[in-house]
Structure 1
Amino acid sequence: MHTNMRKICIAVVVVLLCIAVKYSQANSSIRTSSGLDTNQNHNSAIPDDDENSRPDSFALKYGRILRSDEFERFDKSLQLVQGERCMLDLNATLWGVVHEEQWAVAMYDASAKGISGVENGLVYQFGHYDQCLDLNKHVEADELNGISIRSKYCLAEVKLDGLQIQKMGSRKIRSGNSTIIHWGACIPASCNAKDVGIFLESFLQKSVNVDENMCQIGKHEIIATKEMIIYASVVLFFVTLAMLSTFYHIYQLYVNRNEHKRPRIDTALKAFSIIENLKKLGQSSKDQMGLNAINGIKALAMIFILGGHALSFIYSGPVYNSGFMAENLLQVQNAVLTNSLLFVDIFLFLSGFLFCKILLIELERRRGNVNVAILYVGRYIRLTPSYMAVLGFYMTWFSTMGNGPIWQSTIGLEQERCQQSWWLNILYINNYVGTDNLCMFQSWYLSVDTQLFFFAPIAILFLHKSRRFGFQFLLIVLAVTVAIPFTITYVNKLDPTLMVYADEVQDFASNKFYTGSYIKTHMRATDYVIGILAGFIVHLMQEKNTKIPKLYTKILWVASIVVGTLSMFSITRFYTSPFTVLESSLYAAFHKVGWGLCIGWLVIAVTTGHAVYLQKFLACRVFAPISRLTYCAYLCNGIVELYHASDIRFPHYLSRVDMFHKATMHSLDTFALALIVCLLFESPIHALERILFKTFSKPSQPKGSSSTPSTSEEQIA
């Protein structure tokens, strides 16, 4: 009995020794982090039937994480990379995955594993960005035999054959049955973009492209540059001024000083007071010249503009179901969003309208003696400081405010563009010069409006000198502004307007139609000229107290609603089916005219007493602070949209409720940021500008005349 037991024990020991020897031989074929064994043969995968029959042996050879085919592809792929350190670290990672070391398993786990939903538009397979880069915080040298392996996240472009998006928001006709997907990979940081591409191409057995800009090693390191320190110092200076001015204001309130007749020095000391500027922001406007309703028009237009921007950025980014927007582009009722670009023209219209209305009053008050140079200087002083504050943020701290798989490729690119072309922005010529490096996608508006602002005094002086000649001159200019878009669109066979296809609005600066046509002043002047004409008409009607008969009023309302509706919603025709060059040219030329006439009648009606109830609604006090924030909201919206679009970790699921919620949140974020810029920069500098020009310019006012209305100072341009 004892003899049999002894034989059994000896047999068990022999078997265990054989298994140990075999396991040792298997492991010796794997390179470790301490060196390379170039003579080993790694083609020793266990056949599938053997794996099924002997799972314990498979686990000993490959571990429990990798399948045998993954092991073989990983091992074969790492041998192809050119960097020696990259090869060593990839090999150590493979060793770590087989032995289930936490760092290696986490690195492997953070990489995308497979594809799903490509035919429904899911082309972003992110993996787990944060898990990959968070590993770098826990690397210890003694864990890896003296070699510290940092992780690196790359978002590669992989050409996938056999799958194709069935419904996508693009007009491009795909050739072949293939799709480019974005594949998240977590690999050792020692591998450059070329090595990552070689490794992934072999491992995935697909065509792969990797750009160094799509790779990131860290996300928490902030290295302050000289420019960042200078910008922070300037902002801190303005914050200090705001605090000191606020303390002075509180002191004045405490000692109960008379605030009604205070000297200019007191006004200057309060210019940066948060209390004073909040009070100015929230107070109701004096309804001089019937312009109070402009506040409501501006506020509502800006809300629609912000909503359109938000939806464009969401739709053009990583989405779960691209077919949702592809279908919605074809629906007429959604044109108010796809054609929200027309709401920008409302501000061009109002800029021309307000400038004409107020300059005509000043010309009459001063008997034609108006210094146009002061108008230009005042405008520059009023607009540029806030503009520079936002531009400075783009150039310095913006890139440190977040992170994500596509953060570096979008925010980093935007920062680079702004660093190269910021001076074109503050010269207001960036819509013609340096458009390939356009900084701030929405900045074209200020350039267009400024260039038209230089033209406006000429036309308005003509109106003042000879109303008939000035009116005829403006009609000729209007005809030219209609003919130019028609001709250019027809000759160059352009789109009727900016089409909001996902792949075309993903990066506005790389959109040829956007930079070559959409942002040009000669393509956008129509509604500004109509605004000047409307300002002249309102001036005459208020001067003579003219009232339009009710029958004509009704006809004008019906006509304006019909024309405005056609101008807004007819854009759907160009999404539903192919269109001719003539159709495109006619729309490009006349849809702005129709929209401008519609808005023109609305403004004329509410400022001359032909729409009492509508005027009361638009003049509601709630619109006043929103209207005053429109300029700063316009400046800050790009920051909000770029941040939310670039900080993304997983694709958006698009639905009407979800998109409405996101658009609302983005708009609130924009106005919150706008409030900060307004209180620190725009409102204080505007107050100082008014003091400065009152000091050097004292117009003689006829007895009983009213001062220039505050609405003129609140316009976006």
Structure 2
Amino acid sequence: MIPARALLTFILPVVVFSNEIAFDGLNVSTDTKNPVLRNTINSELVDRSATRLEPVYPNIWLADLFYQSLVGFSVTDVGSSACRLQSKLYLSHLKNNSYWAVKMSDSWPRYLNGLLIGNTHHIGVYDECISVHQPIQGKYCMSTIELQTSTNENFTQYSKDEYASFDNAWQEILGFIDYGDRYKRNVINLGVCIPEACSSADLEVSLQRELDRIFLSHQLKAQVKVKPDLCNTNKHFFPYDTGYYVTCGFFGLLILIVSFSTTYHLVALRNGRENQPSQNLEVLNMFSVIKNGNDLIKYNKDNELNIFNGLVSIQMMSIVIGHGRLIGINHPRLYPKPVEEIHQDTHNNLVLSFNNAIDSFIFISGYLLYMTTINKLRKPGCDWFQITKIIIYKYLKSLPVHVTMIILTIFIVPHMGNGPFWANQMGVEANQCKKYWWTNLLVINNFVDGEKQCLYAGYFISLQLQLMVIGIMVVYIYGKNRKIGNVIIALLITVSLIIPFAITYYSKSEGITKFNISFSLNLFQSSSSASYHFTYLYSRFYVRGLPFYIGLLAGDIVEVLKKKQVKMSKTTTFITTLVAFGLYIYVQLYSNVFFKRHRDYNAIESSIYSSLNHLNTPLLYMWIAICHTTSSYGFLEKLLNNRFTSLLHKLSYSLYQVNITVILMIIFSARASEVSSTQILVIKSIYIIFTVYIAAVVLHFLVDAPFGLLINRVIFGRRPSTKSKEN
């Protein structure tokens, strides 16, 4: 247990200073606090708040200003000679209502709607634009337009959380404050169809010039940006290079090997020769879908750890749904109000509270590591060489699927879809992996900044392996001397409580990583790190190790209870578990206070919650482990301990590796805005879960299962088992 002095040292600052730390807005970055838009004023006007005058708004609505700018817009007098020639040809044919020219003009909007409600994407018809081939090729470009005032008036001082019917609509645009729970009203994404010879820079210059002509006369400034990878034709944006063909050849060969191995196994079954396989074909047999399928559905109902495998399988499904929700925020929405209301409702909102969902996986990793290795490490012949062997095995076992996803992300995935957003997002993913794949292989990618992350979920693999190295050494010490092991666990838990507290306090960060609308948009729409908190307080082992160490401690406690044969009644088990779960939910829901607007920042509060937040889940799971050992949960155990959950658990690693990539492919292949109704969201969630599991099954049979057997064979000399047909 944690020494009393360590606990006193940790708690004393909380008691003494809890009411003395005030919010200092000058020291808080916009990554971690509710940010206020910077003053973007360029000229000189008297501050109206000082003179008590009402703000002066443009007398023409924004949609009308856009219409005046866009109704006759085309890329003219810029760019190369080819661009100028094609633009003149387009305009001349447009005047004559030529079919191809009108298709280009008809494919993008001029009068924008939904500006007040947060309809930020005005896409038009992407496929109509790129379907034009003769006499020129249509090119679809998505531009980003940020609205500002061209005066020095700060409209944010007049902003309200809710506007009355007769308030000026311009205030919602000019006074927009990014609290993180709404789509930006002052940023508009507009799709435009231009001739192929014209570049994104040509469109940016022409559109900026045209918007300045109309907007500046109304004291408005529209800043235009057009990324090159947001301009697409029907031609392939990504080149079919050598890497693509080599990767296709490798996976084609792998499919052939799996097919041949499965066919050979099937013939052996029919001829009754399954139990006498040729030694030369032993490796080939490892790739058999029949063999790996039998291993997948194999189930040992007497395994006392099955309940935790069941918890992992169910929670993995919730992780997929959570990733779908987080990434889905980037999907253009015709009416985003329902999504905004979810993030604005800070009262008993479970969606906002589960910002530490992976703590359960980290705890279970530590608990299972202790329970499965302690007896092996107690054997007289076990030494540090055996520990090194286990670490190497765990590392190699994680590589095949992880390397496969890196290779697919770089060479294959970019070619598997298209759309107005596809090249931009998948290009970022591919480029990051091209540059920083080595950080994943060296298991240090969770120590690099967000813009250098290869695979968004890759940090967790490194986090797990780093904690596993620490954990296996701690378990070895436990096996040799339990008292020393308890001292080390106490020190690790104490340090894991103090470090997040210190980092949060000195960086003036929030107590949680807020997975809100702004976080998701910044994470998936830019190449920069989305959040200081995510980079330094979410992904590194020294701030996320607490659940793992408590998992190791839980393993030791359970082992002692087994030896003493301690038993609890089912009534006591259910009542105490309900109380523990109630306390767990209370602490989880407390995190919602950090999502409230206009709430004063308290450094001590945030720092304490940053530490205790990761103590909440493992304490609940430790009690579940104790109750499971000393009693029974009855029907709940049957729900978690069955053949189906066992099967899902064996797919969990492949599922985790592939889920974000599949979700990205679904979300960023969008061609139109969607309506956020409950029915559509449910149907989409079901589709995402089904698609992700299909991809995980394929990845399991092609890579995870066969290469796992090969690694077992190389490291431990284990041969694939040859069971009879009955087994």
Q: Aligning the two structures, in what range does the TM-score lie when normalised by the shorter sequence?
A: 0.7 to 0.9
- Equivalent residue for 2:321? 307
Deviation at 1:637, TM superposition (A): 0.7
Distance 2:460 2:92 in 1: 57
Aligned-residue CA RMSD (Å): 3.0
- Judging changes above 3 Å, is the alpha-carbon distance between structure 1 residues 73 and 642 closer, same or farther for their aligned structure 2 residues? closer
- Equivalent residue for 2:669? 647
Bigger relative contact order (CA 8 A; separation at least 6): 2
Distance 2:253 2:484 in 1: 51
Unpaired segments of 5 or more residues in structure 1? 1-66, 140-147, 698-706, 708-717
- Equivalent residue for 1:563? 583
- Name which of structure 1's ranges 677-686 and 610-619 shifts more when overlaid on structure 2: 610-619
Deviation at 1:537, TM superposition (A): 1.8
- Judging changes above 3 Å, is the alpha-carbon distance between structure 1 residues 585 and 73 closer, same or farther for their aligned structure 2 residues? closer
1:510 equivalent to 2:529? Answer yes
- Judging changes above 3 Å, is the alpha-carbon distance between structure 1 residues 296 and 106 closer, same or farther for their aligned structure 2 residues? same
Q: Secondary structure at the match of 2:119?
A: coil
Distance 1:653 1:209 in 2: 27
- Judging changes above 3 Å, is the alpha-carbon distance between structure 1 residues 608 and 422 closer, same or farther for their aligned structure 2 residues? farther
Q: Aligned match of 2:121 in 124, 147, 150?
A: 124
- Name which of structure 1's ranges 440-449 and 467-476 shifts more when overlaid on structure 2: 467-476
Distance 2:120 2:237 in 1: 30
Q: Secondary structure at the match of 1:135?
A: coil
- Deviation per CA, 1:35-69, whole angstroms, max 9, x where unpaired? xxxxxxxxxxxxxxxxxxxxxxxxxxxxxxxx9x9
- Judging changes above 3 Å, is the alpha-carbon distance between structure 1 residues 446 and 460 closer, same or farther for their aligned structure 2 residues? same
1:291 equivalent to 2:305? Answer yes
- Equivalent residue for 1:427? 442
- Deviation per CA, 1:454-500, whole angstroms, max 9, x where unpaired? 11122112211221221232122111111111111111011222212
Distance 1:439 1:475 in 2: 34
- Judging changes above 3 Å, is the alpha-carbon distance between structure 1 residues 385 and 476 closer, same or farther for their aligned structure 2 residues? same
- Equivalent residue for 1:230? 246
1:622 equivalent to 2:644? Answer yes
Deviation at 1:329, TM superposition (A): 2.1
The answer to whether the Cα contact below 8 Å between 1:567 and 1:594 also exists between their aligned partners in 2 is: yes
After the TM superposition, which residues 695-710 of structure 1 pair with which residues of structure 2 at under 5 Å, given as runs?
695=717
Q: Secondary structure at the match of 1:546?
A: coil
The answer to whether the Cα contact below 8 Å between 2:129 and 2:138 also exists between their aligned partners in 1 is: yes
- Equivalent residue for 1:164? 172
- Judging changes above 3 Å, is the alpha-carbon distance between structure 1 residues 169 and 467 closer, same or farther for their aligned structure 2 residues? farther
What amino acid does structure 1 have at the position aligned with 2:509?
A: L
After the TM superposition, which residues 650-665 of structure 1 pair with which residues of structure 2 at under 5 Å, given as runs?
650-665=672-687
Q: Secondary structure at the match of 1:342?
A: coil
- Judging changes above 3 Å, is the alpha-carbon distance between structure 1 residues 103 and 284 closer, same or farther for their aligned structure 2 residues? same
- Equivalent residue for 1:318? 332
The answer to whether the Cα contact below 8 Å between 1:607 and 1:615 also exists between their aligned partners in 2 is: no
Q: Secondary structure at the match of 1:635?
A: helix
- Judging changes above 3 Å, is the alpha-carbon distance between structure 1 residues 694 and 71 closer, same or farther for their aligned structure 2 residues? closer
After the TM superposition, which residues 347-426 of structure 1 pair with which residues of structure 2 at under 5 Å, given as runs?
347-366=361-380, 368-369=382-383, 371-426=386-441
Q: Secondary structure at the match of 1:285?
A: coil
Distance 1:79 1:623 in 2: 62
Deviation at 1:588, TM superposition (A): 1.1
The answer to whether the Cα contact below 8 Å between 1:264 and 1:691 also exists between their aligned partners in 2 is: no
Distance 2:364 2:315 in 1: 11
Deviation at 1:298, TM superposition (A): 0.7
Q: How many residues align?
A: 618
| TM-score normalised by structure 1 residue count | 0.80
The answer to whether the Cα contact below 8 Å between 1:120 and 1:166 also exists between their aligned partners in 2 is: no
- Judging changes above 3 Å, is the alpha-carbon distance between structure 1 residues 168 and 632 closer, same or farther for their aligned structure 2 residues? farther
Q: Aligned match of 1:250 in 229, 245, 266?
A: 266
Q: Secondary structure at the match of 1:692?
A: helix
Distance 1:663 1:344 in 2: 20
- Equivalent residue for 1:8? none
After the TM superposition, which residues 427-576 of structure 1 pair with which residues of structure 2 at under 5 Å, given as runs?
427-433=442-448, 435-508=450-523, 510-512=529-531, 513-548=533-568, 553=573, 556-576=576-596
Distance 2:522 2:115 in 1: 22
Q: Secondary structure at the match of 1:505?
A: helix
- Equivalent residue for 1:193? 200
- Judging changes above 3 Å, is the alpha-carbon distance between structure 1 residues 274 and 173 closer, same or farther for their aligned structure 2 residues? closer
The answer to whether the Cα contact below 8 Å between 2:419 and 2:670 also exists between their aligned partners in 1 is: yes
- Equivalent residue for 1:5? none
Distance 1:542 1:263 in 2: 45
Distance 2:542 2:515 in 1: 22
The answer to whether the Cα contact below 8 Å between 2:570 and 2:633 also exists between their aligned partners in 1 is: no
After the TM superposition, which residues 207-222 of structure 1 pair with which residues of structure 2 at under 5 Å, given as runs?
207=222, 208-220=224-236
Q: Secondary structure at the match of 2:502?
A: helix
What amino acid does structure 2 have at the position aligned with 1:638?
A: I
Distance 1:72 1:296 in 2: 59
The answer to whether the Cα contact below 8 Å between 2:499 and 2:543 also exists between their aligned partners in 1 is: yes
- Equivalent residue for 2:6? none
Distance 1:495 1:598 in 2: 24
Distance 1:608 1:233 in 2: 54
Distance 1:543 1:173 in 2: 52
Q: Secondary structure at the match of 1:393?
A: helix
Deviation at 1:544, TM superposition (A): 3.9
Distance 2:79 2:343 in 1: 47
1:87 equivalent to 2:84? Answer yes
Distance 2:305 2:355 in 1: 24
Distance 1:72 1:391 in 2: 44
Unpaired segments of 5 or more residues in structure 2? 1-63, 149-169, 216-221, 722-727
Larger radius of gyration: 1
Q: Secondary structure at the match of 1:256?
A: coil
- Judging changes above 3 Å, is the alpha-carbon distance between structure 1 residues 263 and 604 closer, same or farther for their aligned structure 2 residues? farther
Distance 1:354 1:594 in 2: 19
- Deviation per CA, 1:272-327, whole angstroms, max 9, x where unpaired? 10111112112223523x11112210111101111110011112332223322222
Q: Secondary structure at the match of 1:503?
A: helix
Distance 1:473 1:70 in 2: 68
Distance 1:335 1:270 in 2: 51
- Judging changes above 3 Å, is the alpha-carbon distance between structure 1 residues 330 and 111 closer, same or farther for their aligned structure 2 residues? closer
- Judging changes above 3 Å, is the alpha-carbon distance between structure 1 residues 406 and 133 closer, same or farther for their aligned structure 2 residues? same
- Deviation per CA, 1:509-562, whole angstroms, max 9, x where unpaired? 621222232111112111111111112222233344332466864564244212
Distance 2:707 2:240 in 1: 28
Distance 2:129 2:652 in 1: 41
Deviation at 1:662, TM superposition (A): 1.5
Q: Aligned match of 1:690 in 686, 689, 712?
A: 712
The answer to whether the Cα contact below 8 Å between 1:538 and 1:604 also exists between their aligned partners in 2 is: yes
1:240 equivalent to 2:253? Answer no
- Deviation per CA, 1:388-447, whole angstroms, max 9, x where unpaired? 111100010111111111111111111110110111112211011354221111111011
Distance 1:551 1:154 in 2: 64
Deviation at 1:168, TM superposition (A): 9.4
Deviation at 1:99, TM superposition (A): 0.4
Deviation at 1:228, TM superposition (A): 0.9
Distance 1:76 1:541 in 2: 77
